[in-house]
Every structure is written in structure tokens, then in C-alpha cells.
Amino acid sequence: MQEEKVVLVDKNDNKLGLMPKMEAHLKGKLHRAFSVIIFNTQGKILLQKRASTKYHTPNLWSNTCCSHQRDNEDNISAGKRRLSEEMGFITDLFNFDSFIYRVEFSNGLIEHENDHIMIGVFDGIPKPNPNEVDEWKWVDIDILANDMKINPEHYTAWFIIIMNKYFESLKKWKLQ
């Protein structure tokens, strides 16, 4: 099986080419990615605990799902694809915002991504893929933000960045 490729981009999200995912993470090349945040109608966020077998950041709590867009795949299609693959459901998604971040991990991998955030609403019961997700839970956004301050080591770096940068906007969005 051929390794998945990521879309390399410049700081304005213009496509520069493709690179195998692991190579991009070893070299720290800026590439396109996405993070999906799902609320329920009570305003709680659906979190996943990344599987213990993940190649980086295993056993950490994170947003509902995340991954990389494929070549010529739009954000919404990519988000729905991965939501189905990781969490076992599909719902409408809306583009929220994007930001660039760079984080180096202790295993030598580097996340340097233009992360496109998408938001959706779902009230069902997820059926997560055990190869991707060890646990899931619905959490109130205020309780989540407080726990992230007390226990940041329990969460993925990009999810902490999202919550720090967009907390007020997300809080307003959940009330819509």
C-alpha cells in the first residue's frame, strides 16, 4: 500500500506539491490539515482519546477528529470522510477558520500545518474505529477549558492552540 501524501502549501495555503505524510512530518514541511469539532444540541463538545497505537500523540484527548486533505479534496469532503472513518458518523460541517502552527514532538516528528477548523452538530452515538480512538466523551466547553489549563499534558498540542485561540468564538458558536 502506498503511503498517504499530504498537500504542501505556502503560508497563504497555496498548493506547492505533494509529499508522503511521514516525510513531511520528519522534515517539518508546512502542509494542509484539518480539525473537526462537533457539538451536540446541549452545547457540549465531542472529544476523542487518540488510540494508543497512533504514531504520534497517542492516548491524548483531542477534538472530534483530524487528518489531512487529499490532493484536490475540499475541506468539507475531507472532514466528512475522516469523521466517518474515525468516529463512525457523518453530519453537516461548516468552515470555521484556519491557522498555522508548528510543534516538535519527542519522537522527532514535526507538525507544521495549516489547520482548517470545521464545526458541526450531532446528537447521536458515535461508533469510533478502535484503530483510531480509544475513548470518547461529551464535555462542556467551560469544563474543558478549565481542565486544559490544569492538565495540558492530557491534550493534543493543536487542540490546546484551538481552544486558546478560539474559545470565545466557539463558545458563541455553540449557542447558535
DSSP 27-73: HT--EEEEEEEEE-TTSEEEEEEEPTT-SSSTT-EESSEEE-PPTT-
Q: Which of 33, 8, 26 is nearest to 110 (CA)?
A: 26
Cα distance between residue 31 and residue 8, in whole Å: 4
Q: Which amino acid is at 112?
A: H
Is 66 noted as a catalytic residue in this protein?
yes
Note whether 116 and 100 are within 8 A (CB): no
Q: For the chain, state the CA radius of gyration.
A: 15
Note whether 68 and 34 are within 8 A (CB): yes
- Given the C-alpha cell 465531542, which residue does it identify? 46
Terminal alpha carbon distance of the chain: 43
- pTM value surpassing 0.85: yes
Spell out the domain ranges in the chain: 5-174
Is 113 noted as a catalytic residue in this protein?
yes
Q: For domain 5-174, is the CATH number 3.90.79.10? A: yes
From the candidates 66, 86, 111, 132, give the one annotated as an active-site residue.
66
Q: What is the pLDDT of residues 10-44, one digit of tens each?
A: 999 999 999 999 999 999 999 999 999 999 999 89
From the candidates 65, 86, 111, 113, give the one annotated as an active-site residue.
113
Q: What is the pLDDT of residues 135-171, one digit of tens each?
A: 999 999 999 999 999 999 999 999 999 999 998 888 8
Whether pLDDT at 2 is above 70:
no
C-alpha distances out from residue 152 to 41, 133, 139, Å: 27, 19, 16
